Structure 1
């Protein structure tokens, strides 16, 4: 199913607006063709959206949790009914293979379903008193208006992982998707409208990220910022949040290590590596970026990984048989090329792949395995965000832990070993918020997602995911 090239609007206070504004083009990275335009909203539109959310907050927060869950369950149902349109939109605007896009829609919908139920479990407390004539209680209240800023690489799931718990908790939301992939957000906003959310409860602003940030950071009606993106931008938001002491949740950059010990099931390790590294063409925050393999299985692992990668089909994500799609834009391709050129210049050996492909206007890079890697190479110091698997030889569990932790980031890590004692001891040493043990795909709606060190603040998903949108209010009741 094709999506027409057309102009899309943004939604503020229950109305589709922005047609009078300048526009931003949205292009398909598989061929460079324009697939639509969105309004280039600025500070005025951001202010209007915040005001709409602020005005809607009182009535939405006073609804029962069961009532709010009803809206979310309707949205969940609509997402599943419109899975194909959402998936096709996603593939066209950011290149993800269509089967991955379908999977993301299901994953995104699962957050709406999970938090529809989790909102019913926001429990207060009665605390034993220390003094006669008093009763001590803890009440739970929604934090207020939430501004949600999301990246281009998961345009559905990153939104629902934020809006789901926010809405379930009684907050109202202003969403700002990436300008590289805003159309999926527009489609989700249409479904919110069909689900019957009251006007102003969910708002969508497209356009300038910097102007949007200026408004949400300076407007005291915005009490919560939830952001997924780069660590550099996250640090800016932290600084900007100081004036009004904004409540922040930040899911930032990653540089995930994947460790294969000598007792690992090599076939399972290869399968997990391919699943983690080449999903979305390596453009995921938790994908394996640094692969450390014990010297005893190093050659076997490289041979099997190369064969598996050579079987991956590169191409336009609309093709049902494609495994790896394009990179998001030319900047993304240039970064991959720079990393590879640096590695090869320092002695790395390309096992398979290693070449860009821009025929037909697309921005592709071949699925690549490169060995003879060491920590001096840029590919082991910076997140590549591309389909390149660099493999470094290690000699011990201690070296694996040292190299894995040698990064300012701490989002995700992967360990492959069949020995429970070794796996336990190694993982205990790893400073990462998410660890896949013999598992290349650890994400799920019912578990906490987030990082340590410079990879962020807070957790999304699981029962912890709704805590980020709740304030605890202590009430001391005097009865005498």
Structure 2
């Protein structure tokens, strides 16, 4: 049985306590690997290594860091098929989606490699002769980062590439449910020349690890992609210790389809995006609001597209939607559908789990839902799509902005006025008008309200791993 080992100070190792966690293939129920678990002694070694690694890596020329990150990107691209297979076996998404995610991971490393050479400061205009006043960007210090299971390649890589590009060392904890591709990315970084201690990976008890790392005086910065509940706990702890944090948390993204939109094209795009990764996407579609005048046309086309999806093992040709990643996901779908039935919602298609060894759920459409139902107020994180009509722009915006989430939001319209207004009026950090763009390496990605704070991606995300120093220098000989 393959073991997903810890990576500490340049060495792959098992945990000191010899404990392991099973990794399940969600399509078959088969155990495909074991995860080695870290205890506090392992975390202490990782912290010492990160502190020492920071002293070396932060003094490494940005141009040399850039070259190493470029080599990381090249190695990930070279090993893409192998890594994609690991992702599909452990996480469940179709192989084509796994390869697409790894394409974006390569893109992130390439972009951060270039950005490493652009950590510019500023020369401030003189207020009086003899003064030279500048700002300097420096790496913030050793980072503790926590990555999720739903995108174990690109979200994991995004944290590593930005931290290393800025000159920080990092201790990162991937999900214990899908660690294979994360381990492969770390191996690519090691082979590319990232020095010992600059990059460390630990796994095990998430609560123990996060608490122990964040409390350490060695850690200078925290980054989490995870649930709102976990984000509250970690941001509170980081805040108490006055440590900067980036929190990319849950979403419940609305889609607004206005009456002037091409309803059938909107349905095609929305269906494709909604059921990507079996609906387990923080940016993904969760609530669909359609204007009365095009509601039936949209529903008909959307249903046609959903019923054409082929559900199955992501390793098989032609499969367009894989299983949910774990049994928790199926249980959550069952609870959502129980609430739908209790509130007399109507199931247009799907609505049930698929009997078998894996964690499969039918692609599902629900209509005639009350606005305070579970599906409309809590992030489903699965392949259930609610479709609700609206009558006016104000009603649509009230529904879209009516929750405490604010990660992503989308709209379809031919009107330039409506497009401009929704961009201004939607309360979300990521907005798509007439398109669903996945997170881009060069664009900031982050939420508002309960969906978190800070950005990953783009110069904004890179700056999160830097601190700014102001230097005022006077010429004493003048």
- 1:15 corresponds to which residue? 11
- 1:117 corresponds to which residue? 114
Which deviates more, 239-248 or 118-127?
Answer: 239-248
Please show how residues 84-123 of structure 1 align to structure 2 within 5 Å.
Answer: 84-123=81-120
Which deviates more, 82-91 or 47-56?
Answer: 47-56
Which deviates more, 161-170 or 421-430?
Answer: 421-430
Which deviates more, 240-249 or 65-74?
Answer: 240-249
Q: Distance in 2 between matches of 1:31 and 1:376?
A: 36
Give the 3-state SS of the residue equivalent to 1:463 in structure 2: helix
Summarize deviations over 1:44-64 as a string: whole Å, max 9, x none: 212211210110111211111
Residue 129 (structure 1) shift: 3.0
Q: Distance in 2 between matches of 1:182 and 1:42?
A: 18
Residue 457 (structure 1) shift: 1.1
- 2:270 corresponds to which residue? 273
Residue 445 (structure 1) shift: 1.1
- Gaps (5+ residues) in structure 2? none
- 2:71 corresponds to which residue? 74
Q: Distance in 2 between matches of 1:19 and 1:401?
A: 51
Q: Distance in 2 between matches of 1:268 and 1:462?
A: 30
Q: Distance in 2 between matches of 1:289 and 1:19?
A: 39
Indicate if the aligned counterparts of 2:264 and 2:297 stay in contact, CA closer than 8 A.
no
Please show how residues 151-162 of structure 1 align to structure 2 within 5 Å.
Answer: 151-162=148-159
Q: Distance in 1 between matches of 2:455 and 2:4?
A: 32
- 1:369 corresponds to which residue? 365
Give the 3-state SS of the residue equivalent to 1:471 in structure 2: strand
Give the 3-state SS of the residue equivalent to 1:409 in structure 2: coil
Give the 3-state SS of the residue equivalent to 2:220 in structure 1: strand
Which deviates more, 125-134 or 367-376?
Answer: 125-134
Q: Distance in 2 between matches of 1:39 and 1:443?
A: 31
Report the TM-score, using the length of structure 1 for normalisation. Answer: 0.97
- 1:463 corresponds to which residue? 459
- 2:301 corresponds to which residue? 304
- 1:347 corresponds to which residue? 344
Q: Distance in 1 between matches of 2:463 and 2:437?
A: 25
User: Residue 412 of structure 2: which of 394, 412, 416 is its match?
Assistant: 416
Please show how residues 128-207 of structure 1 align to structure 2 within 5 Å.
Answer: 128-207=125-204
Q: Distance in 2 between matches of 1:221 and 1:442?
A: 34
Summarize deviations over 1:413-434 as a string: whole Å, max 9, x none: 0101111111211221111000
Q: Distance in 2 between matches of 1:444 and 1:430?
A: 20
Summarize deviations over 1:447-473 as a string: whole Å, max 9, x none: 111111111111111121210001000
Residue 159 (structure 1) shift: 1.1
Give the 3-state SS of the residue equivalent to 1:38 in structure 2: strand
User: Residue 444 of structure 2: which of 440, 445, 448 is its match?
Assistant: 448
Residue 145 (structure 1) shift: 0.3
Give the 3-state SS of the residue equivalent to 1:141 in structure 2: strand
Give the 3-state SS of the residue equivalent to 1:272 in structure 2: helix
Q: Distance in 1 between matches of 2:3 and 2:455?
A: 35
Q: Distance in 2 between matches of 1:96 and 1:69?
A: 31
Summarize deviations over 1:139-197 as a string: whole Å, max 9, x none: 11000101110000000101111111111111011110011111211111111121121
Residue 19 (structure 1) shift: 5.5
Residue 119 (structure 1) shift: 1.1
Q: Distance in 2 between matches of 1:242 and 1:457?
A: 13
Q: Distance in 2 between matches of 1:44 and 1:264?
A: 59
Please show how residues 314-329 of structure 1 align to structure 2 within 5 Å.
Answer: 314-329=311-326
Q: Distance in 2 between matches of 1:54 and 1:322?
A: 46
Indicate if the aligned counterparts of 1:310 and 1:367 stay in contact, CA closer than 8 A.
yes
Q: Distance in 2 between matches of 1:23 and 1:130?
A: 62
Indicate if the aligned counterparts of 1:436 and 1:442 stay in contact, CA closer than 8 A.
no
Give RMSD over aligned pairs. Answer: 1.1
Residue 442 (structure 1) shift: 4.0
CA, structure 1 residues 442+88, in 2 after alignment: closer, same or farther (shift >3 Å)?
A: closer
Indicate if the aligned counterparts of 2:15 and 2:39 stay in contact, CA closer than 8 A.
no
Q: Distance in 1 between matches of 2:308 and 2:372?
A: 30
Residue 311 (structure 1) shift: 0.5
Determine whether 1:261 maps to 2:258: yes
Which deviates more, 10-19 or 73-82?
Answer: 10-19
Report the TM-score, using the length of structure 2 for normalisation. Answer: 0.97
Q: Distance in 2 between matches of 1:441 and 1:188?
A: 24
Runs of 4+ in 1 over 3 A off after TM superposition: none
Q: Distance in 1 between matches of 2:240 and 2:454?
A: 20
Indicate if the aligned counterparts of 1:268 and 1:438 stay in contact, CA closer than 8 A.
no
Indicate if the aligned counterparts of 1:12 and 1:200 stay in contact, CA closer than 8 A.
yes
Determine whether 1:213 maps to 2:210: yes
